[in-house]
């Protein structure tokens, strides 16, 4: 039933382990999202991957600790990422636009409205906005807070800001489990969650730990933001992005975060 949808893809979906672009996954993603627009849906893509792609392009195997270096890598990677998106979406006749955000832009009322106007007009024209954090300038320093922290939470902020009914988060895990499936073979997938509490965070490894930096904790925080806004979120595997078609048909894949109706 959702007409306005935000789709978030992580670096693990867009790149291989060697840092090279996963062109098959990107092509499936562009095919799928173009198909949704053709069905009359409005779609926003929140895409990670700028630093991951930049590392691959520069032949670097590890992410440097230096923030200026990371920003330079992001600048290189973002241009390559958008070039590939432009090529792949063009195959399906789909137009795209780029929106790079920082937290202060969203927080400041005038710029917030300007960004919202941009989203609304792009969607009205059946253009898919591709959103990423502006990694080249976003740095938390003293009281000048510009970073969102991660693109999981950015996707939930965008979804609630534009009043999207659904956030689909594609990740390197099939959904939310009752325990870490990479450690425990008897871990069970939870198909639906209606409330997120401390017990839920405990299953994800606890809050404020190294395990919770990125990973499942940030996805739970994004889901929490969606539930508080009376919106829905699905967490599913991004190995094959065309899974989005099945999710929207109601197939029981991944984990649906949705408040009691």
Residue 183, in any domain of the structure: no
What mean pLDDT do residues 39-52 have? 91
Nearest to 46 by CA among 204, 193, 219: 219
Residue 10, in any domain of the structure: yes
* Pairing of the two strands 96-101 and 255-257: unpaired
Q: Whole domain around residue 231: which residue ranges?
A: 4-171+194-257
Q: What is the DSSP letter of 28?
A: H
Q: Give the pLDDT score at 150.
A: 78
Residue 46, in any domain of the structure: yes
Residue 178, in any domain of the structure: no
Residue 14, in any domain of the structure: yes
Is 57 flagged in the annotation as binding?
Answer: no
pLDDT exceeds 70 at position 232: yes
Is 22 flagged in the annotation as binding?
Answer: no
Residue 180, in any domain of the structure: no
Is 79 flagged in the annotation as binding?
Answer: no
Is 134 flagged in the annotation as binding?
Answer: no
Is 104 flagged in the annotation as binding?
Answer: no
Residue 177, in any domain of the structure: no
Give the list of residues 6+ apart from residue 79 with CB closer than 8 angstroms, or none.
Answer: none
Residue 127, in any domain of the structure: yes
Please state, rounded to an integer, the average pLDDT across all residues of the chain: 85
Is 214 flagged in the annotation as binding?
Answer: yes
- What digits encode the pLDDT tens for the residues 75-127? 888 898 999 999 999 999 999 999 998 887 778 888 889 999 999 999 999 99
Number of domains in the chain: 1
Is 215 flagged in the annotation as binding?
Answer: yes
Record the pTM. Answer: 0.88
CATH number at residue 43: 3.40.1160.10
- What digits encode the pLDDT tens for the residues 131-175? 988 766 666 543 445 556 678 889 999 999 999 999 999 988 888
């Amino acid at each position: 039933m959702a007409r306005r949808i935000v789709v978030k893809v992580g670096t693990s979906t867009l790149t291989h382990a060697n840092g090279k672009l996963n062109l098959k996954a990107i092509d499936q993603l562009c095919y799928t999202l173009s198909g949704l627009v053709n069905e009359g849906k409005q779609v926003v893509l929140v895409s990670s991957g700028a630093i991951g792609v930049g590392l691959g392009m520069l032949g670097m195997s590890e992410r440097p600790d230096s923030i200026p270096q990371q920003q330079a890598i992001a600048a290189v990677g973002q241009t390559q990422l958008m070039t590939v998106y432009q090529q792949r979406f063009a195959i399906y006749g789909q137009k795209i636009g780029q929106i790079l955000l920082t937290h202060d832009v969203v927080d400041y009322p005038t710029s917030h409205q300007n960004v919202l106007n941009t989203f609304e007009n792009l969607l009205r024209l059946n253009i898919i906005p591709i959103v990423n954090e502006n990694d080249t300038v976003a740095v938390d320093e003293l009281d000048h807070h510009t970073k969102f922290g991660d693109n999981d939470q950015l996707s939930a902020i965008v979804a609630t800001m534009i009043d999207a009914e659904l956030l689909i988060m594609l990740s390197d895990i099939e959904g939310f489990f009752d325990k870490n499936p990479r450690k425990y073979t008897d871990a069970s997938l939870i198909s639906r969650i209606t409330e997120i509490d401390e017990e839920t965070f405990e299953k994800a490894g606890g809050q404020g730990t190294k395990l919770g930096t990125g990973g499942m904790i940030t996805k739970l925080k994004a889901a929490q933001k969606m539930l508080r806004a009376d919106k829905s979120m699905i967490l599913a595997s991004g190995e094959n992005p065309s899974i989005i078609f099945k999710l929207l048909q109601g197939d029981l894949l991944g984990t649906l975060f949705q408040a009691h109706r």
